[in-house]
Chain A
Amino acid sequence: MAVRSKTKEKILRTALALLNNEGEVNISSVDIAAVMDISPGNLYYHYKGKDVIITELFADFESELRQVLAAPVHKPMALEDNWIYLYIIFEEINDFRFFFLNLTALLERIPTLKPKFSRLLSLMQQTFERLLSGLEASGHLSFRSGEKNILSERLTAHFIYWLAYADLRGLKGASKIIIHEGVYAALTQITPHWGQRSEPYAALLKDFLDEQVG
């Protein structure tokens, strides 16, 4: 990725914070310029409008998430870290949450992001399927034909929509707690596949959540 000027970097950081905190529809490029205390013309010199800024922010998000998703694909990691791993995926999404809270509208308005986002979803699904395969290979989970694939698709959908869902449901609390609850909801989906051990697994999962959420 090309090296950015300090001003550009500052514009992006400010824009991301504003979009995340105030909501994408409520923020214009004039607002971003105002918060930075620069003229809208100056901002326009660096980025020609809000959608250009969003596209650039997406590129950052994409490369971050790709790094995280590629890690277990290229180098299988210790699966005891699953909870934390899923937490970090959610963290990436949370850092870019304005996008996920207004997904459909933004993808329609900036169509160039659509194929990129679609590829990212596919990578996420593959990552989940690989994690499930790992647990299946070690004899911990069992799947009937096709179940593993559909579960990894469902987990992907869960990750994409969890923040929006939590928002709609009015779930209160720090983003950390909402993320831990999202991880719990994700791992709970694999409970039935633990077979006869699913009951103790579910209980321990709940214990772990309680410990995190306090």
Chain B
Amino acid sequence: MTDKKNTDTARKIWLAGIGAYGRAFSEVQEGLTKASKGTSKVFDELVEKGEVLETIVTHKGKEAFDKVSDKIGDTVSDTMGDGFDMDERIAKMRSRLKRGGGTSDVEARLDAIEAKLDAVLTLLKPKKAAPKKTTPRKTAPRKKPAAKK
């Protein structure tokens, strides 16, 4: 098994593990832990046991990944392939978070409500302004005697 293949498979299992989706990770890991304790040793033993087992491991990782992809309804298939690009993944996730998060965020909703309230208040203001004009005349004479005392 080449080094590249080794890390590829490791990455797949890792992603499946972090994903915690499906049972693939537990099954694969339990099998591997039984076989050996260290990762590199695990892969050495896999070689001994033949490529068949590796195919199963790879397949299970892929299965878990497919499940994840289905759930998020996004095409992130490059995660598992050779075209894995961290920067690209980060960019994708960033745009997904910024897009989806905003509307559901309470603060953002509050902002929106505040903005609407402001708009309503400005609409109401002209109506309130009219009766206000009469009030200074009434209050002004009342205040004057109070000030003299």
Contact = CB atoms under 8 A, between A and B. Distances in A.
B149 interface: no
A174 interface: no
A214 to B, nearest CB: 11
B45 interface: no
A163 B96 CA distance: 25
Contact of A63 (B17, B29, B42, B108): B108
B68 A197 contact: no
A85 B10 CA distance: 20
Interface of A: 1, 62-64, 66-71, 74-75, 77-85, 87-88, 91, 134-135, 138-140, 196-197, 199-201, 203-205, 207-208, 211-212
A43 B57 CA distance: 62
A205 B10 CA distance: 9
Contacts of B101: 66-71, 74
A206 B93 CA distance: 22
Tell me what chain B mostly uses at the interface: helix, strand, loop, or mixed: helix
Tell me what chain A mostly uses at the interface: helix, strand, loop, or mixed: helix
Contacts of A64: 98
Nearest to B84: A211
B39 A211 contact: no
B7 A88 contact: no
B100 A200 contact: no
B20 A79 contact: yes
B93 A204 contact: no
Given A84-B93, A85-B93, A208-B10, 4 more contacts: A74-B104, A88-B90, A138-B21, A140-B26
29 contacts: A63-B107, A66-B105, A66-B108, A68-B101, A69-B101, A70-B104, A70-B106, A71-B100, A74-B104, A75-B104, A77-B72, A79-B18, A80-B19, A80-B20, A80-B21, A88-B90, A88-B97, A135-B20, A140-B17, A197-B17, A197-B29, A197-B33, A199-B38, A200-B13, A200-B32, A200-B39, A207-B7, A211-B7, A212-B86
A72 B68 CA distance: 15
Contacts of B104: 70-71, 74-75
Interface residues of B, number: 45
Contact of B18 (A67, A68, A71, A80): A80
B81 interface: no
Contacts of A83: 18
B29 A1 contact: no
A78 B17 contact: no
Interface string B69-92: 001100000010000001001100
A122 to B, nearest CB: 13
B105 A67 contact: yes
A88 to B, nearest CB: 6
A63 B16 CA distance: 32
